[in-house]
Structure 1
Amino acid sequence: MICPLPRFVFLLIGLAAIIQSTSGVAEETAIKHSFFVAGPVFTGIVGEDGETVWDSGRAGARDGWVLPNGNVLIAWNDVVKEFKIDAASGKNSQKTIVWQYNLDKTNKEIGTVQRLPSGLTLVTELGAKPRLMELDSEGKIQTEFPLQPETKNAHMQTRMARKLASGNYLVPHLLAFQVKEYTPSGEVVQSFATDLESLGGQAAKNWPFTAIRLENGNTVICLTNGNKVIEVDDQGKVVWSVTNEDLPGNPIDDACGGQRLPNGNTVIASYHAKVGVKLLEVTADKKIAWTYEGPNRVHHFQILTTNGQPVTGSPMK
């Protein structure tokens, strides 16, 4: 299903057109993206020209989305907020909070957020009682079950949990070296190991951070300190991977966030990078198609437009 376009996407498209018309000759083959950034210093929206379109005003975000209605949903370690913004008024536009969830103090951190087609909001908490919840518009819990991260290290228990079309949930557990699929009752029905000997075993620190279920049933997994991204089939067999050994300049430096684009390319966050490549887009044959080397470090992200055209469909991130 193609999602309706947020208002600010039309602004980004207009800005891209202006840049091309005033630059003399447009670069025919150069890829340009606008994107949302959840980062340790900056959290907001970056235009195709690399300039800030909107700034949330707070650093340290974990996860976030630009929603089909143009609102921006962001998870920090202690709170989730949904903002209604007017991007046309600039990067420091007034920010109206239309929905909020605060961390339950029995836990230590919020791990991730996702707005579901039902209108409910998926949130995970890390700590003494790691859990996944679906919350309604009033913040009341409609679904809840405990997670099984296999560690008491709250910060390393889980990251980008996502609800699947089947109704199950895909949850990466870093120190368990597993991506687990849970039912709504909390039963683990499948798991994909990431400490495979073929990938270097546990010594390679292939901690799963982002897991993306594709339409063909395969799963793309970003492995943080392992500095690699893999795609596995429904049996957990690696059918595609990309590492620094495949790319010039060792551009992957802590592969946290990831997104599979409609054209089949994979965009990877290089979270630890303070200079150089912060985001890179890699083709199926492991060629670098685009990089972002601006000032903003990237924990997770969402590609919004490509060369003035919106990225259609539900973001696979």
Structure 2
Amino acid sequence: MKSALIVVYGIALSLSSYAQSTPGNNDLSRHDFLYAGESHERRIFIIRGGKIVWSYSDPAGKGEISDAVLLSNGNILFAHQFAVEEITPEKKVVWRYDAPAGSEIHTAVPIGNDRVLFIQNGAPALIRIVNKRTGIFEKEIPLKTKLPVNVHPQFRHARLTSAGTLLVAHMDLDKVVEYNSSGEEVWSFPGTHVWGVTPLANGNVLITDSVGVREVTHRGDVTWSFTPQEAPGCKFDNLQQAWRLPNGNTVIDNWVNEWSSSPTQRSLQLLEVTPDKKVVWALHSWQPPLDLGPATTFQSLDTPAELEKLHFGELY
């Protein structure tokens, strides 16, 4: 195979058949976004105008960053396995909750300005809502798991919907479940090692598992899907989350496990595909000064999102 490789500030793009099979640009300036990943360095980045405008790292810390969101006040709420915390742009910790011994926290979302909803992997696993101002846990809902003592693979991702329900990716039970605020199951859909779940504006659900990404209706119909086999020029490792952009395209992240392998210049971080599955952006940014590290979570900042306006039942 004929191949030429150009590396510009850590963004590598092959000019061979790889480039031809992944058209589009490999440029940080394509979107403004928040980016974080499970890695040794525990890093978070905000990218605007193609530049890293803010970054956070905690290489001496414990755990891995599995989820992170930019709040409307500019703070970052993130879960890193053994704690969930909120930091300011100046990196001051303004709130933190440490996971009890034998438990883990891999996902967290805001409810209003004062509350945080997170899932605590454990025995039992719990949906927990805490008031940051008072420190009081205002709601706890037990969740079923495959093996309660095997905490790590229970859950990775959950998101609130505009209907006031919660979508939960049951990684160890191989399904997505939608819960109301009473803890009742109102909808479910099967998957394989389900990692990510994203509610869409049309009421459908975007599910990411080890097979690929699917858009699913509440009737159980798959209206759109993508698998790694449909982008043969890309090197996939572990699909974790997916996000639907306002233009109808879908951004998918691909995580490289630093604990078992090392990324290469071909290791994929983010992939943007059109509704007809044409690849228009494939990000490989691994070298200083633009080394973003492994990808686990992405939040588009092209269109402001007021995540705090979502609610869980009566809790706003």
The TM-score range, normalised by the shorter chain, is 0.7 to 0.9
> What TM-score comes out, normalization by structure 2 length?
0.76
Q: Deviations over 1:17-70 (max 9, x none)?
A: xxxxxxxxxx99976123222211342214356654323222521111111111
- Secondary structure at the counterpart of residue 145 of structure 1: strand
1:288 to 279, 286, 292: 279
Q: Once the 2 structures are TM-superposed, how far is the Cα of residue 156 of structure 1 from its aligned partner? A: 1.3
- Partner of residue 126, structure 2: 131
C-alpha root-mean-square deviation of aligned residues, in Å? 2.3
Is it true that 1:117 corresponds to 2:112 in the alignment?
A: yes
| Amino acid in the other structure paired with 2:136 | K
8 Å CA contact 1:282–1:290 kept in 2: the answer is yes
Percentage of pairs with the same residue: 33
In the alignment, does 2:228 pair up with 1:239?
no
CA displacement at 1:279 relative to structure 2? 0.7
The equivalent residue for 1:167 is 164
**Aligned positions of 1:36-185 closer than 5 A:** 36-39=34-37, 40=39, 41-48=41-48, 51-59=51-59, 60-85=64-89, 94-105=90-101, 107-117=102-112, 119-137=114-132, 138-152=134-148, 153-185=150-182
1:255 touches 1:270 (CA, 8 Å); kept in 2? yes
Q: Does residue 299 of structure 1 match 2:296?
A: yes
Give yes or no for contact 1:73–1:83 (8 Å, CA) kept in 2. yes
Contact 2:25 2:281 (8 Å CA) reproduced = no
Which stretch of structure 1 is more off in the superposition, 43-52 or 120-129?
43-52
* 1:29–1:126 distance in 2 versus 1, CA, 3 Å: closer
2: distance between equivalents of 1:313 and 1:55?
20
- In the other structure, the counterpart of 1:312 is 304
1:194-233 to structure 2, matched below 5 A, reads: 194=191, 206-223=192-209, 225-226=210-211, 228-233=212-217
> Measured at CA, do residues 72 and 29 of structure 1 come closer, stay the same or move farther in structure 2, by a change above 3 Å?
closer
Unaligned runs of 5+ in 1: 1-26, 86-93, 195-205, 305-309
Q: Which amino acid aligns with 1:122?
A: L
Contact 2:274 2:280 in 1 (8 A): yes
What one-letter code is carried by the residue in structure 1 that aligns with 2:33?
A: F
| 2:184 pairs with 1:192 | no
Which residue, 257, 277, 291 being the options, matches 2:241? 257
Aligned length: 262
Q: Counterpart amino acid of 1:215?
A: A
CA distance in 2, matches of 1:263, 1:134: 33
Preserved CA contact (<8 Å) 1:32 1:48: no
CA contact (8 A) 1:101 1:139 kept: no
1:43/1:61 contact within 8 Å kept: yes
CA contact (8 A) 2:197 2:241 kept: no
Given that residues 38 and 298 in structure 1 are in contact (C-alpha distance below 8 angstroms), is that contact kept between their aligned partners in structure 2? Answer: yes
**1:259 maps to amino acid:** W
CA distance in 1, matches of 2:300, 2:164: 25
Give distance in 2, aligned partners of 1:284 and 1:117. 33
Task: Classify 1:314/1:255 alpha carbon distance in 2 versus 1 (closer, same or farther; 3 Å).
Answer: farther
1:192 offset after TM fit, Å? 0.6
SS in 1 for 2:172: coil
Equivalent residue of 2:241, what SS?
A: strand
| Whole-angstrom CA distance in 2 between matches of 1:29 and 1:56 | 23
Code of the aligned partner of 1:156: P
Q: Which has the higher helix share?
A: 1
> Is contact 1:37–1:44 with CA below 8 Å preserved after alignment?
yes
After TM superposition, the score normalised by the length of structure 1 is 0.76
Q: For residues 272 and 135 of structure 2, what CA distance do their matches in structure 1 show? A: 36
Q: Give the distance between the partners of 1:134 and 1:282, measured in 2 at CA.
A: 35
Q: CA deviation at 1:183?
A: 1.7
Higher relative contact order structure (alpha carbons within 8 Å, sequence separation ≥ 6)? 2
Tell me if structure 2 keeps the 8 A contact 1:126–1:157.
yes
